[in-house]
């Protein structure tokens, strides 16, 4: 059976090599007579898997020792609550930059715990760009500034790393982590659900600077208290063991490919080719400011909704699946994360040309 080209925004396509490896390890992991799924999270075997995953991730991103790494449950949306509960400390305000659907979700959740200052928003222009830092109106003493580095639904991505001085910068990188290098030292905390770019759903990565620990509010659920989780190293409660194992295999593969710098080159090439096709004639249109176009989630519209629907349906019949845009945005969205190959992008482009010939 042939695998489809899966453009799903998440849970997203995984590298075939990783899936094959999982399959061959499934019943008997490295001759131990059991599956990773069935191992104690305190066993030497699982701790070996988890510490290697962490080591490889540190190498891929270049994470120094003063940043702690957590693999927790709760998803990126859970973090919308856990971040204020952990980081507010004595502060009463947090600043948020609103660039679309996911930043809106983050700031709405934070309102349960603190005063939210929306320091900048691109809402009035339909969330089609990232507000320039010169337009941000930060509050006097916020606990942190929160951004969504890549808006998965509209396809808007920060082309720059904001400078927030001494105020910790917090970023939701769920849909672009490991797709391009970034300097972790510019951030206080970075978080990402695994299911877009590095694993199956069920595990959330949190990279947090050490000096931000120890401030959790009393009402913060203990299992989501970063400080307690860091102190107990994988053993406070059961971590999502199987997703961590698969994420570890993805990290290993990224290192073997040459690391994030090499992966970024491929991502640039894939995105450029696809946007060039969109821009080639007037048949397909993308609404995002060119500098802020996402390399991961490429959105476009056909001349009318009926054609959008026909495009997605016909593509599906040809093995190009999950191209329908999010219900709030409509149109078409091709998610081309790390695991989508250039061959998949080429197949999509060939289909776009054929479709345009018939309906353009
Ligand atoms: C998918 C996504 C989320 C939601 O993640 P869950 O794991 O479903 O909670 C949040 N932020 C961004 C940027 C996303 O792409």
211 is catalytic: no
* Annotated catalytic residue within 172, 234, 287, 308: 172
Residue 108 has pLDDT above 80, yes or no: yes
172 is catalytic: yes
pLDDT score, position 19: 98
Q: In the block, which residue shows the tokens 């940043």?
A: 67
The arithmetic mean of pLDDT across residues 109-115, rounded, is 98
The arithmetic mean of pLDDT across residues 157-180, rounded, is 98
Residue 1 has pLDDT above 80, yes or no: no
User: What are the tens digits of pLDDT across the range 197-231?
Assistant: 999 999 999 999 999 999 999 999 999 999 999 99
Residue 12 has pLDDT above 90, yes or no: yes
* Annotated catalytic residue within 29, 102, 270, 324: 102
Which residues partner with 214 through β-bridges?
Answer: none
102 is catalytic: yes
Residue 246 CB–ligand 1 contact under 6 Å: no
Task: Return the beta strands (E) in the chain as ranges.
Answer: 5-6, 67-72, 93-98, 115-121, 145-148, 150-151, 156-157, 169-172, 189-193, 204-209, 297-300, 320-321, 332-335
Residue 337 CB–ligand 1 contact under 6 Å: no
Q: How many Å apart are CA 52 and CA 49, to the nearest integer?
A: 5
The arithmetic mean of pLDDT across residues 268-292, rounded, is 97
User: What are the tens digits of pLDDT across the range 122-143?
Assistant: 999 999 999 999 999 999 999 9
pLDDT score, position 235: 86
Average pLDDT, the chain: 97
Residue 306 has pLDDT above 80, yes or no: yes
Could you give the 3-state DSSP secondary structure of residue 204?
strand
Q: Which residues of 206-228 are buried (b: 16+ CB within 10 A; e: fewer)?
A: bbbbeebbebbeeebeeebbbbe
Phi, psi of 226 (to 5 degrees): -60, -40
pTM, entire model? 0.98
Residue 196 CB–ligand 1 contact under 6 Å: yes
What the chain holds in terms of domains, given with CATH numbers, is 17-257 (3.40.640.10), 258-359 (3.90.1150.10)
Residue 74 CB–ligand 1 contact under 6 Å: no
């Amino acid at each position: 059976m042939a695998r489809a080209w899966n453009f799903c925004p998440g849970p997203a396509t995984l590298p075939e090599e990783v899936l094959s490896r999982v399959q061959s390890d499934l019943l008997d992991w490295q001759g131990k007579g059991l599956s990773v799924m069935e191992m104690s999270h305190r066993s030497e075997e699982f701790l070996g898997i988890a510490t290697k995953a962490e080591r490889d991730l540190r190498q891929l991103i270049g994470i120094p020792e003063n940043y702690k790494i957590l693999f927790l449950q709760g998803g990126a949306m859970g973090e919308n609550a856990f971040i204020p509960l952990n980081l507010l400390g004595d502060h009463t305000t947090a600043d948020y930059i609103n660039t679309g659907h996911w930043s809106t979700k983050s700031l709405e959740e934070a309102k349960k715990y603190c005063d939210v200052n929306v320091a900048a928003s691109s809402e009035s222009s339909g969330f089609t760009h990232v507000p320039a830092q010169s337009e941000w109106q930060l509050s006097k003493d916020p606990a942190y500034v929160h951004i969504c580095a890549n808006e998965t639904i509209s396809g808007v991505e920060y082309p720059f790393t904001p400078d927030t001085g001494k105020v910790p910068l917090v970023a939701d990188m769920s849909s672009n982590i490991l797709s391009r290098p970034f300097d972790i030292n510019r951030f206080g905390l970075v978080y990402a659900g695994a299911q877009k770019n590095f694993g199956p759903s069920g595990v959330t990565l949190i990279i947090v600077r050490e000096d931000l620990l120890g401030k959790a509010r009393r009402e913060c659920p203990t299992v989501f208290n970063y400080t307690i989780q860091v102190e107990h190293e994988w053993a406070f409660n059961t971590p999502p063991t199987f997703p961590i194992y698969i994420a570890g295999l993805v990290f290993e593969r990224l290192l073997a490919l040459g690391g994030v710098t090499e992966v970024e080159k491929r991502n640039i090439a894939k995105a450029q080719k696809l946007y060039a096709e969109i821009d080639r004639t007037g048949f397909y249109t993308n609404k995002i400011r060119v500098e802020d176009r996402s390399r991961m989630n490429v959105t476009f519209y056909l001349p009318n909704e009926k054609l959008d629907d026909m495009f997605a349906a016909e593509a599906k019949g040809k093995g190009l699946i999950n191209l329908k845009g999010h219900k709030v945005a409509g149109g078409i969205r091709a998610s081309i994360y790390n695991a989508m190959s250039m061959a998949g992008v080429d197949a999509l482009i060939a289909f776009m040309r054929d479709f345009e010939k018939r309906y353009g």
